[in-house]
A and B are shown apart, each in its own frame.
Chain A
């Protein structure tokens, strides 16, 4: 029986599993509701209480919505960052760099975070170019900037890989032509003079006289490359006073490069036709002089590392929800004291204690349910706002939509609070009607 259930569970599609999980999380609320309301029809009285104290009720539902919304926004945001950063790493199949700091190199190549890295020389280039199972070999030359935006040198093939067909203009045909990212403030035809380095240490005088003309704009990639200026790698080498990767007088752009005139690059992006081929290529190009790695896998390890932090964050979010719910329920206990005379009246008119319990429970559950649903909306808006902030700082395109995880959180909080709503309900259940009837 259990084994059969287990197989059925494993066979179910993720959406079915998520829907079932949501249903399971709502079971405590439904069971409590069924028990509390059985045989009673408290609807009109609950509506009367909701209307009579509408501002207080709005306040309670609003508090609940804020606390649920905060939790929802946080987990939606965390997932969006995870997915957004993974999407940005997608075009970078395999990175080849000098042995050492994988994470630092991934941050430099994928997210264009400025950092200095040791260079790979002509020997590594030679070995890569002899490997006929590679479908792409693109040096990445980063470290320069223009007006705060990174200037990256690479090949036209990688430009196509990361952005697909251009949104505007054309690919460079000469070393002094550049293509800009989708969100760059520059326009086609602009002329720029890249500065050496990035940030505060950028030196605008270092590359005296070297100019780039913008001739094309990439389609959005969803990553920091959207703000970059992408130039032929030959240009970047030339402005540093280095050989341009080709025999003198060759006058060409892009691969193959000449190992004898190769000035060095911090990283290559390489690709293979198949996944199995990628694993083999990674092994072939990892040795004493170079390391090859999947940035996607490095990112996953980073996410995994942060997973514990995430867990702690969700626990804290849940604890915050619990505290907020407890506060709201405490308020409801106080509020039901205000209703005491009405409940005493109901009892005097013949209502059983269970009816009073049903009224208080339905009233509290309505507020909590409204708070949870409102909280999802607040969370969606909050996540969107947070995503905007994070996008502006990281250049990651984030879509922080409300998914199953958020619905599950709201359902769990709702279920918990409806069970807790029994506290004010039982408090009202136990009060003596004769005492409350005379309390004017």
Chain B
């Protein structure tokens, strides 16, 4: 299923059947701005299409790990390989470009733009995409909102937590990413909404062979993942 990945060019959207790269972290060390080490990863592997759960106590370094995998946080040493592309060796604009082309992010507190409609939030990537890709992003966003059962024309300010998180899931998928990275996506939801969203995310990942990496305290979500790692005191354990 995996094919070699050319780091210099990231196709903007995954055409049907486009490949998903394997993830491999090796000897990664992350320092806080004050120089204190906050995360060490000897080795972490997630083959393409894996659903990987990350759990651990508060303050252990789970979000930090996710940010490193997303290329949002530079590492002090080690390799962060998505296929052949090493995020650790890339400049910030190159990491931005990689994230734009390959990754979709979901956050615990949704982080939607309250002043925009659900549709505008889900299609936010159209704002910086090349003009020729904008219509496709908007169309995908619309379809995803439908699929998740989120009302597209309403202001997000008037939405419930469950509806908001469905909008943010549509936003994460609107650019057809190879991997979905979610930081405690169900933590702000009630049981029913949490289960529904977890099911939707897994289904969306599975049917397109996407990798899903989710940080969660939710035993139900963790239980449905293919593979689970634990982060304790800044150390990743298998």
A residues sitting closer than 8 Å to B (CB atoms) are 39-45, 47-49, 51-52, 341-342, 345-355, 433-435, 437-438
Contact = CB atoms under 8 A, between A and B. Distances in A.
A44 B127 contact: yes
B70 A352 contact: no
Contact of A437 (B67, B92, B100): B67
A39 B134 CA distance: 11
Nearest to B98: A350
Contact of A352 (B105, B107, B126, B128): B128
30 contacts: A39-B130, A39-B131, A40-B127, A41-B126, A41-B127, A41-B134, A43-B127, A44-B116, A44-B120, A45-B113, A45-B116, A45-B127, A47-B115, A52-B115, A345-B111, A347-B96, A348-B72, A348-B105, A350-B96, A350-B99, A351-B96, A351-B100, A351-B125, A351-B127, A351-B128, A352-B97, A353-B96, A354-B128, A434-B72, A435-B33
Contacts of A39: 130-131
Question: Top 10 nearest A-B pairs by Cβ distance?
Answer: A350-B100, A48-B115, A355-B128, A434-B73, A434-B72, A345-B111, A41-B127, A351-B128, A434-B67, A51-B115
A49 B73 CA distance: 26
Interface string B144-182: 000000000000000000000000000100010000000
Given A52-B115, A341-B111, A351-B128, 11 more contacts: A40-B127, A40-B128, A44-B116, A48-B114, A48-B115, A48-B116, A348-B70, A350-B101, A352-B97, A353-B96, A434-B67
B113 A342 contact: yes
Q: Which of A45, A342, A348, A354: most chain B Cβ within 10 A? A: A348
A interface SS class: helix
B187 to A, nearest CB: 14
Contacts of B99: 348, 350
A434 B120 CA distance: 24
B23 to A, nearest CB: 18
Nearest to B70: A348
A52 B114 contact: yes
A353 B93 contact: yes
B95 to A, nearest CB: 10
A98 B8 CA distance: 91
Interface in B168-219: 171, 175
A366 to B, nearest CB: 15
Contacts of B107: 345, 348
Given A39-B130, A345-B111, A438-B63, A352 B96 contact: yes
Contacts of A44: 116, 120, 127
B85 interface: no
Given A39-B130, A438-B63, A349 B105 contact: yes
A286 B229 CA distance: 108
B103 interface: yes
A51 B73 CA distance: 31
Interface of B: 33, 63, 67, 70, 72-73, 92-93, 96-97, 99-101, 103, 105, 107, 111, 113-116, 120, 124-128, 130-131, 134, 171, 175
B67 A352 contact: no
A352 B100 contact: yes
Nearest to A355: B128
Nearest to B72: A434
A341 B96 CA distance: 17
Q: Which of A43, A44, A350, A354: most chain B Cβ within 10 A? A: A350
Nearest to B124: A349
B96 A349 contact: no
Contacts of A353: 92-93, 96
A52 B72 CA distance: 27
A349 B33 CA distance: 23
Contacts of A346: 124
Nearest to A51: B115
Given A347-B96, A352-B97, A434-B67, A48 B113 contact: yes
A314 to B, nearest CB: 41
Nearest to A46: B127
A434 B67 CA distance: 7
A314 B35 CA distance: 53
Contacts of A435: 33
A47 B96 CA distance: 24
B126 to A, nearest CB: 7
A350 to B, nearest CB: 3
A436 B134 CA distance: 27
Nearest to B101: A350
A342 B124 CA distance: 12
B126 A350 contact: no
B171 A349 contact: yes
B212 to A, nearest CB: 17
Contacts of B131: 39, 41
A353 B100 CA distance: 12
